[in-house]
Structures are given as structure tokens and as C-alpha cells.
Amino acid sequence: MSKPDKREEIVRSALELIAEHGFHGAPMAMISKHAKVAAGTIYCYFESKDLLINELYKDLEKRMYPFILDGYLPDRPIRERFIHLQTALLRYFINNPLDFRFLEQYHNSPYGVAHRRDKILGNKNGCDVFRDLFEEGIERKLLKELPLSILFGLAFGPVLSIVRDHILGFVILDETLITPVIEACWDAIKR
């Protein structure tokens, strides 16, 4: 097995097991076993479990943002752009349930809170396309005049809840359901 293969296998195993069992339900020994490497090998690539998890998160962002932004046209109307982004997000999560479950674990942990705090304090990253969209929408009186955090909650809260239920099998989110869901989110934020 070549070098990058091992790292790749560790990352894949970690993502899968953490998505399935949570951070403390996925010990390093389980990850290494699943990846078919020795316990110490993980530490050739990641200094600690914490750093492995943060790396996993960064990798995930790098996969997710391009997917969401693919075909995004900043000159189209706000509503259309919103629907494009949300639909892409929803599809990404449906097609990558492991990524979604990991993201949930991450946000619901000290890692995620710290990360979110940094983001709030103004650091730039891929999420800004939503921020820009919302700010523009407020300015043009197309969206409700509410704090950005609230608009984020109104737009993403439902997506997270619904995708969660979909992945757990409590609802089947087929093609006929995606558009109504996204439009309902639009209804929540539009003026």
C-alpha cells in the first residue's frame, strides 16, 4: 500500500466511524483497525485525535464548497441564487450522508463551537457566499430585516433537521420533495 493510500484509508475510516458512532464511540484503536494500519500509524499523519478531527473537517469543507458553488451565477436574482445554493447543499448531504453525520458531530462539540466562534468573528471562508447573499437581500428589501444569525437559522435549521431525518430513514427525501422544502425555506426568510 502506498503512502497516500494509508492516509486516505485512515481519513475514510475515521470519517465513517465518527459519523456512525460519534467522537468517543470511535477510539483510535477502532479507526486504525478499520483502516488496516497499526495504532501508531495514525500518528505519522496526525499529531493527535483532535487534530485528526479538525483535519477531517477541513477536508470536508474542501469537498463541499466546490460542489455547492458549481454553476453558481452571482448575477442571477437573489431567490434563484438562494435556491441554487440550498438545493446543492441538500443534494450534497443526501449523497454524502457520512459527511453530514460527521458535520453534525463536529458542530455539536467543543471543536465546532470554537470553529463557529472564529467564523463569527469575521474570518473569511466558503460560507461567505451565503453571508453576501443575505446581506444583499436585506439591503434590497427582499429578505426580512433580521440579524444574519437569525436568517442563517431560518435557512439552514430546517435543512439540517430534514436531512437528519432522511438519513435516519424517518422520511424519504426524493426529488419531488427537494424543491418544496427549499422553497419553504425561502418563504421563511423572504420579506
Partner DNA sequence: GATGAATGAGCGTTCATTCAT
Partner DNA sequence: CATGAATGAACGCTCATTCAT
Residues 166-185 as x/- pattern, contact with a second copy by CB under 8 A: --x-xx-----x--xx--xx
Query: What is the distance between the alpha carbons of residues 29 and 63, in angstroms, rounded to a whole number?
Result: 27
Binding-site member from 36, 58, 62, 116 for a second copy (CB under 8 A): 116
| Distance, CA of 24 to chain centre | 20
Query: What is the distance between the alpha carbons of residues 181 and 150, in angstroms, rounded to a whole number?
Result: 18
Q: Which stretch binds DNA (CB under 7 A): 43-51, 65-73, 122-130, 133-141?
A: 43-51
| Distance, CA of 172 to chain centre | 20
Please list the residues that pair with 190 across neighbouring strands: 143
Does residue 123 interact with a second copy by CB under 8 A? Answer: no
Q: Which does 109 bind (CB under 5 to 8 A by kind): DNA, a second copy, none?
A: a second copy
Binding-site member from 8, 16, 22, 41 for DNA (CB under 7 A): 41
Binding-site member from 28, 78, 98, 142 for DNA (CB under 7 A): 28
| DSSP at 22 | -
